[in-house]
């Protein structure tokens, strides 16, 4: 989106892993400032793939895309798993990153324990039981898959009523989910977490590195605060927003993204 003859360019990295790109609402916020590239990660959406997945392969996919787009460097904006992917790309190809914004990730430390507890507080006992039942099914119908994803995602948001609407909508649009990709990359990430690479990452990150998170994300803000401290990067907290802050606080996120991209493009 935007004038692709202009440089530098922005590349959006969606989360998952295992979901197709869903950052179509972000791109128009900044496309007048710099061209914005989006892509479905290997094995999702319009990027079919039947082989095994690895974090290294996904990092090199991005490098190959930059080559194909004739971009010597880019401004990276990663969300959730995409923030982790952006971080791992910086470890391997720091010379190709002009600036990076990490949105709602990556989380460090034992954040999953607190996340599970918070999700338990946001869901009724019946909802938790139904989610477990759906997860344990060897195969699911289309209706069951939509129900599972809605239950899994609605607690990501600050507002439960609007969160249910967004989750149900996402369960229809962000499909199909590549569950094997999710399992493979999730297992590799747990075996080799970014926690062990933060000193190296801090040395390789561009000078313009920022972190943004929703205060009401069930994933604990304290994990992003720890990340910001260890990376020496500024952290912006979006009040009244969860894991997709542009949905609940669009004006604030819009202003932040435009300021970040503007400064990255003009080098201020």
Question: pLDDT tens digits for 138-163?
Answer: 999 999 999 999 999 999 999 999 99
Q: Which of 162, 130, 144 is nearest to 244 (CA)?
A: 162
Q: pLDDT tens across 29-87, in order? A: 999 999 999 999 999 999 989 899 999 999 999 999 999 999 999 999 999 999 999 99
Q: Give the pLDDT of residue 213.
A: 98
Instruction: Provide the pLDDT confidence category of residue 16 given band limits of 50, 70 and 90.
Output: very high
State yes or no: pLDDT of 167 exceeds 70.
yes
CA distance 63 to 128: 40
Instruction: Provide the pLDDT confidence category of residue 3 given band limits of 50, 70 and 90.
Output: confident
pLDDT above 70 covers what percent of the chain?
100
State yes or no: pLDDT of 103 exceeds 70.
yes
Q: Give the pLDDT of residue 171.
A: 97
Q: Give the pLDDT of residue 111.
A: 96
SS (H, E, C) the chain: CCCCCCCCEEEEECCCCCCCCCHHHCHHHHCCCCCEECCCCCCECCECCCCCCCHHHHHHHHHHHHHHCCCCCEEEEEECHHHHHHHHHHHHHHHHEEEEEEECCCCCCCHHHHHHHHHHHHCCHHHHHHHHHHHHCCCCCHHHHHHHHHHHHHHHCCCHHHHHHHHHHHHHHCCCCCHHHHHHHHHHHHHCCHHHHHHHHHHHCCCCEEEEEECCCCCCHHHHHHHHHHHCCCEEEECCCCCCHHHHCHHHHHHHHHHHHHHHHHCC
Instruction: Provide the pLDDT confidence category of residue 114 given band limits of 50, 70 and 90.
Output: very high
Q: Give the pLDDT of residue 4.
A: 87
Structure token pair of residue 29: 């916020």
Whether the model clears a pTM of 0.75, i.e. scores above it, the answer is yes
Q: Give the pLDDT of residue 175.
A: 94
State yes or no: pLDDT of 268 exceeds 60.
no
Q: Give the pLDDT of residue 5.
A: 83
């Amino acid at each position: 989106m935007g004038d692709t003859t202009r440089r530098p360019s922005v590349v959006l990295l969606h989360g998952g892993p295992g979901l197709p790109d869903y950052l179509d609402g972000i791109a128009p916020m900044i496309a007048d400032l710099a061209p914005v590239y989006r892509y479905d990660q290997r094995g999702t959406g319009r990027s079919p793939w039947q082989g095994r997945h690895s974090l290294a392969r996904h990092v090199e996919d991005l490098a190959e895309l930059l080559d194909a787009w004739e971009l010597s460097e880019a401004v990276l904006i990663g969300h959730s798993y995409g923030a982790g992917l952006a971080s791992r790309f910086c470890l391997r190809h720091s010379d190709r990153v002009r600036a990076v914004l990490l949105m709602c990730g990556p989380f460090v430390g034992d954040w999953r324990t607190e996340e599970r507890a918070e999700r338990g507080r946001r869901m009724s006992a019946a909802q938790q039981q139904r989610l477990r039942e759906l997860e344990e099914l060897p195969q699911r119908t289309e209706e069951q898959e939509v129900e599972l994803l809605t239950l899994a995602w609605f607690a990501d948001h600050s507002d439960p009523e609007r969160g249910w609407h967004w989750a149900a909508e996402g369960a229809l649009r962000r499909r199909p989910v590549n569950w094997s990709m999710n399992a493979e990359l999730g297992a590799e990430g747990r075996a080799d977490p970014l926690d062990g690479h933060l000193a190296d990452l801090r040395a390789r990150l561009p000078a313009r590195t920022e972190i943004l998170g929703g205060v009401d994300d069930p994933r604990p803000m304290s994990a992003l605060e720890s990340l910001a401290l260890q990376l020496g990067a500024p952290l912006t907290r979006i009040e009244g927003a969860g894991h997709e802050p542009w949905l609940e606080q669009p004006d604030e996120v819009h202003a932040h993204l435009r300021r970040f991209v503007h400064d990255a493009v003009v080098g201020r």
